[in-house]
Structure 1
Amino acid sequence: MAGLLDRIKGFLRGPQGKALTEKARGIAADPRNRERARTAVSRLRRKR
């Protein structure tokens, strides 16, 4: 399992990983997306 995590870390440190990280941060900054995430998490919590 450690090998997989190392590969993921390596990818995120590279140019493609950095671009995807920045894109994800931009999407996460949108208030509509934050509300969607909150409702999805609350739905998942209620099912248990």
Structure 2
Amino acid sequence: MASIWQRLTAFLRSPQGRKLTEQVKRAAQDPKNQQRAKDALKRLRKR
């Protein structure tokens, strides 16, 4: 049975995985999403 890392790597190399990777990269460059991520980290660090 393939490990989770092997299955994840295979997915990311597939056309669907590459498409998803590009979507995530574009979303990460959006200043609004960057602020949301910073706020989430701030809330987690308070705990």
The TM-score by the shorter chain falls in which range? Answer: over 0.9
Equivalence map 1:1-12=2 (5 Å): 3-12=3-12
Alignment root-mean-square deviation, CA: 1.1
TM-score (norm 2): 0.92
Question: 2:45 maps to what in 1?
Answer: 45
The TM-score with structure 1 as length reference comes to: 0.90
| Count of paired positions | 46
Deviation at residue 5 of structure 1 after TM alignment:
0.7
Structure 2: 5+ residue stretches without partners: none
Segments of 4+ in structure 1 off by > 4 A?
none
Give 1:1-48 correspondences, 5 Å limit: 3-47=3-47
